[in-house]
Amino acid sequence: MPQHISRKELKKDEVRDTLAHGAEALLSHQTSTIVLVVVAIVVAACVYGWRTHGVRQAERAESSFNSAMEVFQAPIGPAQAPGELTYTSESKKFTDAEQAFSKISKDYGRTRAGQLAAYYAALSDEKLKNDAAAEKWLNSAANSKDADVASMAKFELAGLNARSGKTDQAIQMYQQLLTQTSVLVPKPEVMLALANCYSAKNPAQAAKLYGQIKADYPDTPIADQADEALALLPPSKS
């Protein structure tokens, strides 16, 4: 066997080692790149899957909500057209509606339709004189991230409080609503409801609000309502 390695052979070994280390580094880099690509694909797939699931949930919720609204709005009495949904009593109709909306809210609570369903479940319970159940639904809807849903629920809850004799709570909620903006809960409607709350305990404040409604919204139906309510107030004590 040779006792020494020639410079040429040593050079070959150095080149071979260099190539081996380079290949190892390249392979390591490729492996890291592949891992990152795979992770990115998995994350993208998860995001896509979640969004797709969300869209499908929203579509199902909306479809179920529309069906429940057909029950809620169904007429009482004989059908006027073939296939028309009708009921023989309001009790049966609103019982079915409450059950339908309740299920939608529980199954699709994260969707807008699911949050609206809680509101309509409350309206159904109110029709059935189940005020305690209605209050629970309205408190749930009042916490909705959807500003319009939350405002409608708060307005209805304030009305429920007023009808239940909780006038101070109702006044507080109406005052809060006046500081918020919602297309579905117009400011003059809130002002009129607040004035009606004041009419028994504080007729002077009620008169002030009725007058403001007439001044701010002249020649409107709500101004006419304010005028009629103003006429019914007891005369101020001088």
pLDDT at position 200, please? 87
Within a domain: residue 149? yes
114: amino acid identity, one letter? G
The region of weakest confidence among 4-13, 110-119, 138-147, 214-223 is 4-13
What percent of the chain stands above pLDDT 70?
A: 76
| 117 and 194 both lie in a single domain | no
Same domain, 22 and 111: yes
Mean pLDDT on 52-60: 75
pLDDT digits (tens, 9 = 90+) for 65-120: 999 999 999 999 998 889 899 999 999 999 999 999 999 999 998 899 999 999 99
Of the candidates 87, 84, 81, 118, which has an alpha carbon nearest to the alpha carbon of residue 101? 118
**Domain termination residue (choose one: 121, 137, 154):** 121
Residues 60 and 115 both lie in one domain: yes
Residue 87, SS3 per DSSP:
strand
Instruction: Look at residues 121, 156, 182 and tell me which one is the last residue of a structural domain.
Output: 121
Question: What's the domain count of the chain?
Answer: 2
64 and 154 in a single domain? The answer is: no
Q: Per-residue pLDDT tens for 123-132?
A: 999 999 999 9
200 Cβ neighbours under 8 A, 6+ residues apart: 167
Q: What angle do CA 152, 122, 180 make, to 5 degrees?
A: 15
pLDDT at 44 over 70: no
Q: How far apart are the C-alpha atoms of 51 and 161, rounded to whole Å?
A: 39
Q: What is the pTM of this model?
A: 0.74
Q: Answer yes or no: is 38 within a domain.
A: yes
pLDDT of residue 19: 47
Pair (203, 111) in one structural domain: no
Please indicate whether residue 65 or residue 24 has the higher confidence score (pLDDT): 65
Last residue of a domain, one of 121, 155, 174: 121
Both 104 and 168 in a single domain?
Answer: no
157 and 108 part of one domain? no
In a domain, 131, yes or no: no
pLDDT tens sequence across 166-203: 999 999 999 999 998 788 999 999 999 999 999 988 99
Whether residue 172 lies inside any domain: the answer is yes
**Within a domain: 140:** no
Residue 222: give its domain's CATH number.
1.25.40.10
Residue 234 forms part of a structural domain: yes
Q: Which amino acid is at 214?
A: K
DSSP letter assigned to residue 76: B
Any domain includes 137: no
Q: How confident is the model at residue 191, as a pLDDT?
A: 96
Question: From the CB of residue 87, how many other CB atoms can be counted at a distance below 10 Å?
Answer: 17
CA distance 57 to 112: 10
Structure-token match 């994260």, residue found:
110
Domain extent for 67: 1-121
Task: Say whether pLDDT at 43 is over 60.
Answer: no
Are 117 and 79 part of one and the same domain?
Answer: yes
SS3 235: coil
Hey, what's the torsion of the CAs at 104, 105, 110, 116, to 10 degrees?
Answer: 100
* DSSP secondary structure of 150-190: HHHHHHHHHHHHHHTT-HHHHHHHHHHHHTS--TTS-HHHH
Token couple for 153: 């629920």
Residues 46-75: what's their mean pLDDT? Answer: 81
Residue 197, φ and ψ in degrees, nearest 5: -65, -40
